[in-house]
Amino acid sequence: MKTISIALDGPAASGKGTLARRLAADLGLRYLDTGSLYRAVGVATLQAGGDPGDPAAATKAAETLDIAKYSPADLRSEAAGNAASKVAAIPSVRAALLDYQRRFAAQAPGAVLDGRDVGTVVLPQADVKIFVKADFEVRLARRVAELRAGGQTIIESRVREDMAARDARDSNRSVAPLVPADDAWILDTSAMNADQAFTAAKAHIASKLNA
Ligand code: C5P
């Protein structure tokens, strides 16, 4: 039986994670949050006393990563997200994580992967590619609400600065920058709630898979 692969890329707090998880459950596919791999490498580098921007320290963390050691709570903080976007700019870190992602996607019945470069680099042959975007202010409001709901005390101006810095790093890095694949379908969730985004994405996927 052919496996199905669905790539969902987009910037921080675009809604891609919630959408990808829900699509995977609905379609009976496996789900991989590829950002959690970069977050875990960032956290592991910091825990080892290293600097996430240091290629040697970050590459060592990536090559010896045991993803099972990290709970979602360890990985969802802004600090983890920032460390992630620093290690993610290092080519040897990306190379170390590539195989894991491809092997995950290749297992039956297939998978939904969300990230930044799934449609462009990890799975260029994905059956469906969706690039999820939303206006900066909308994403900021979502991220603030998400962090507060998780019980974190945050300063909104700091989250704003961090998100802008992360957007810039992710979009401008030389390796696997955040850009839609040429054949990606663009879903702008700025004016959509989670249900509306799900309905739109599901219709698109059905049209691609049945084409
Ligand atoms: O999606 P999430 O916010 O968890 O990703 C954290 C960071 O990991 C991103 O800012 C990005 O720098 C990096 N990342 C990446 N490629 C991916 C997924 C995440 O570079 N496929």
The CATH number linked to 80 is 3.40.50.300
| Average pLDDT score over residue span 152-165 | 91
pLDDT band at 29 (very low <50, low <70, confident <90, very high): very high
Q: For residue 169, which atom of ligand 1 is closest to its CA?
A: 12
How many distinct structural domains can be found in the chain? 1
Residue with tokens 């910091």: 46
Q: Which domain holds residue 116?
A: 10-206
| Average pLDDT score over residue span 167-187 | 92
Looking at the DSSP assignment, which residues form a beta bridge with residue 114? 8, 33
Q: Is 12 in the pocket of ligand 1 (CB under 6 A)?
A: yes
pLDDT at position 131 over 80: yes
DSSP 183: T
Closest to 81 (Cα-Cα) out of 154, 159, 26: 159
Whole-prediction pTM value?
0.92
Token pair for 47? 């825990």
* Confidence at residue 133, expressed as pLDDT on a 0 to 100 scale: 97
Q: For residue 86, which atom of ligand 1 is closest to its CA?
A: 12
Q: Is residue 104 part of a domain?
A: yes
Q: Is residue 1 part of a domain?
A: no
Q: Is residue 5 part of a domain?
A: no
As a whole number of Å, the CA-based R_g of the chain is: 16
* Confidence at residue 76, expressed as pLDDT on a 0 to 100 scale: 84
* Confidence at residue 72, expressed as pLDDT on a 0 to 100 scale: 86
The C-alpha angle 139, 73, 191, rounded to 5 degrees, equals 20
Token pair for 76? 């969802």
Q: Which residues of 91-112 are buried (b: 16+ CB within 10 A; e: fewer)?
A: eebbebbbebbeebbeeeebbb
Contact 197, 187 (CB under 8 A): yes
Q: Is 15 in the pocket of ligand 1 (CB under 6 A)?
A: no
Number of H helices, E strands in the chain: 9, 5
Peptide bond into 52 cis (omega under 30): no
State whether residue 184 is helix, strand or coil: coil
Q: For residue 117, which atom of ligand 1 is closest to its CA?
A: 21
Q: Is residue 3 part of a domain?
A: no
pLDDT band at 1 (very low <50, low <70, confident <90, very high): low
* Confidence at residue 31, expressed as pLDDT on a 0 to 100 scale: 98
Q: Is 105 in the pocket of ligand 1 (CB under 6 A)?
A: no
Least confident range of 60-69, 91-100, 171-180: 171-180
pLDDT band at 106 (very low <50, low <70, confident <90, very high): very high
pLDDT at position 172 over 80: yes
pLDDT at position 196 over 90: yes
Q: Is residue 106 part of a domain?
A: yes
Q: Which of 85, 102, 130 to mutate to test the pocket of ligand 1 (most atoms within 8 A of CB)?
A: 85
Q: Is 37 in the pocket of ligand 1 (CB under 6 A)?
A: no
Q: Is residue 2 part of a domain?
A: no
Distance (Å) from CA 38 to ligand 1 centroid: 6
